[in-house]
Amino acid sequence: MTKKKICLLGAFAVGKTSLVQQYVNSIFSDKYHTTVGVKIEKTSVDVDGEAVDLIIWDLHGEDDFQHVRLSYLKGSAGLIFVADGTRHSTLATALNLRQIAESSMGSLPFMLLVNKADLADQWEIDDEVMEDLRGQGISVIPTSAKTGQSVEWAFEELARKMVGK
């Protein structure tokens, strides 16, 4: 059995929790976010016939990077950054978080999910920016917590990256 710890990071109110909610098991309430600052969730994905358990550390969204508890990142095999497509600042936050994580953890497989794809008309992040990021080798995936678009795939993709590493 392979188990991987991944961390879910993003600015406040980017919809991280609602994004993963329908794909994960959790026994903890959202209250943990505001108290301990993290909430543990779990999901299982299939990578080329092998089941991989993803232990998801859903970190409380922080706009102020100083408050991110780096100790929670420790031991992660992969990271998922979430931005809100309707708020450009959240992408910056995500990218900043990624930098902080990289400086602390070294290079880890990661995905960048740009949420609220269902509200495409309100998006502040245009395709050009996303293509630019993809050009830097960053996997950018538009997702929708509402429609479930690409969420499962994003987990599988990350798992594949982590196992293949």
Compute the distance between CA of residue 153 and CA of residue 158 in angstroms, rounded to an integer.
9
Residue closer to another protein, measured from CB, 69 or 98: 69
Residue closer to another protein, measured from CB, 30 or 118: 30
In 2-87, which residue ranges form alpha helices assigned H by DSSP?
A: 16-21, 31-35
DSSP structure class, residue 67 = G
Compute the distance between CA of residue 84 and CA of residue 14 in angstroms, rounded to an integer.
5
Binding site for another protein (CB under 8 A): 1-5, 25-28, 32, 36-42, 52-53, 55, 57, 69, 71-72, 74-77, 162
Beta strand 50-59 with 38-47 is antiparallel
Query: CA-based Rg of the chain, rounded to a whole angstrom?
Result: 15
State the minimum distance, in angstroms, from the CB of residue 44 to another protein: 10
State the minimum distance, in angstroms, from the CB of residue 38 to another protein: 5
Residue closer to another protein, measured from CB, 4 or 116: 4
Residue closer to another protein, measured from CB, 134 or 161: 161
